[in-house]
Amino acid sequence: MAQFNTIEFKDGVLKLIDQRKLPLSFEIFECKNYREVDFAIKDMVVRGAPAIGVTAAYGVYLAALEYKNLTKEEFLKEVLRACDILYVSRPTAVNLMWAINRMRDLINTLKEDSIDKICDAIKDEADKIAKEDENINKKIAEHGNNIIPQNARILTHCNTGALATSAYGTALGVIREAHYSGKNIFVYADETRPRLQGARLTAFELVKEKIPAKLIPDNAAATLIRDGKVDVIIVGADRIALNGDTANKIGTFMLSVIAKVYNVPFYIAAPTSTIDFNIESGKEIVIEERDSREVTHIEGIRIAPEGIDVYNPAFDVTPNENITGIITEKGIITKPFRENILKLKL
């Protein structure tokens, strides 16, 4: 089984697989301060909601190390300011906010302690978030495997594997579990324009693990679904509202509509930390819009004419009525989503 150390903290340095460079080169991006973490998240050196959350947590620790020689008052001020900066590094993935809020709560709880003790506690909390993510992913995979039939043909979108998390993956983790449990699955991986996470990252993981698969253009998915060549669709999530509406990589909503028309089960796989208990529906989710160059250029080469306007949302929202179930570490949430999601808070 292939393993990826997507995120590793060692000797005071946060080391990230540079996902902008895969699959053509395997390079490590080193973050030595929280500003470099902020850049890594914004520029998608690291991406995937769970991985972003873990990375941000370590960013807070780097800030603590940077400011540990200040007075207690200045130390707390600067570390919490770093939290504020990291909190808004990307606006849609709620795992980022969740992780930063955990760090803020910890800092506020320990503010009467020594700076050294606070620093140690921040590092322990970041390690804990990373380890929790690994364990959660494995549980998601185990629960999700229960809905995968023998010989299933599975369609997925974007990258939701080990590269998008601290280990194993969410939707791709379910696929991985089904493969290693001997279900003889076959995977169709959407290329996922415009940044091609499916082509560059999901395909990379599938090849490394020798999982039978084909890479397809995004606009081939509808034909495969219509022709009965897809048994189940599993995708990830960046934010889930109380009513089950789900923000995920752009193109997910379109897949869900086609799946509904042709009665193909459509599942979301995500940790419960991706659920935003503070919003009622997807209408409240802020959708990040990214640089037009992601659409007008490929590897720095312009493919669209100068002067053309671009609409480049990074995510879209899939309405709950298009979703069969939400696979979490606590089990599979089914309709009525709001009622069953609220049970997770008890």
Report pLDDT for 1. Answer: 52
Instruction: State the average pLDDT over residues 34-50.
Output: 96
Report pLDDT for 93. Answer: 81
Give 113-145 as a DSSP string.
S-HHHHHHHHHHHHHHHHHHHHHHHHHHHHHHH
CB 225 within 8 A of CB 262: yes
Domain with CATH 1.20.120.420 in the chain: 7-134
Give 229-275 as a DSSP string.
--SEEEE--SEE-TTS-EEEETTHHHHHHHHHHTT--EEEE--GGGB
Instruction: State the average pLDDT over residues 270-279.
Output: 95
Task: Report strand pairing: 153-156 vs 232-235.
Answer: parallel
Judged on CB neighbours under 10 Å (0-12, 13-18, 19+), 33 is middle
pLDDT digits (tens, 9 = 90+) for 141-164: 999 999 999 999 999 999 999 999
Classify 7-134 by CATH class: mainly alpha
pLDDT of 269 over the 70 cut: yes
pLDDT digits (tens, 9 = 90+) for 95-145: 999 999 999 999 999 999 999 999 999 999 999 999 999 999 999 999 999
- In the block, tokens 């998240």 appear at 41
CB 88 within 8 A of CB 43: no
Q: Is the pTM of this model over 0.85?
A: yes
pLDDT of 254 over the 60 cut: yes
The binding site consists of 47-49, 90, 197, 248-249
Identify any residues that bridge with 291 across adjacent strands, giving them in sequence order. Answer: none
Q: Which residues contact 301 (CB under 8 A, 6 or more apart)?
A: none
Q: What CATH number was assigned to the domain covering residues 139-345?
A: 3.40.50.10470
Report pLDDT for 170. Answer: 97
Report pLDDT for 175. Answer: 98
CB 83 within 8 A of CB 28: no
How sure is the predictor about 167, in pLDDT bands with cuts at 50, 70 and 90?
A: confident
pLDDT digits (tens, 9 = 90+) for 284-296: 999 999 999 999 9
Report pLDDT for 346. Answer: 64
Q: How far is CA 297 from CA 90, 198, 263, 320, 345, in A?
A: 22, 18, 37, 34, 44
CB 50 within 8 A of CB 165: yes
pLDDT digits (tens, 9 = 90+) for 168-209: 999 999 999 999 999 999 999 999 999 999 999 999 999 999
218 is catalytic: no
Report pLDDT for 92. Answer: 85
The binding site for substrate consists of 47-49, 90, 197, 248-249
Q: What is the dihedral of CA 58, 63, 69, 70, to 10 degrees?
A: -140
The one catalytic residue in 133, 238, 245, 316 is 238
Domain with CATH 3.40.50.10470 in the chain: 139-345
Identify any residues that bridge with 328 across adjacent strands, giving them in sequence order. Answer: 331
Cα of 340 vs its chain's centroid, Å:
23
Report pLDDT for 3. Answer: 60
End-to-end CA distance of the chain: 36
Residue 83: φ, ψ to 5°: -60, -45
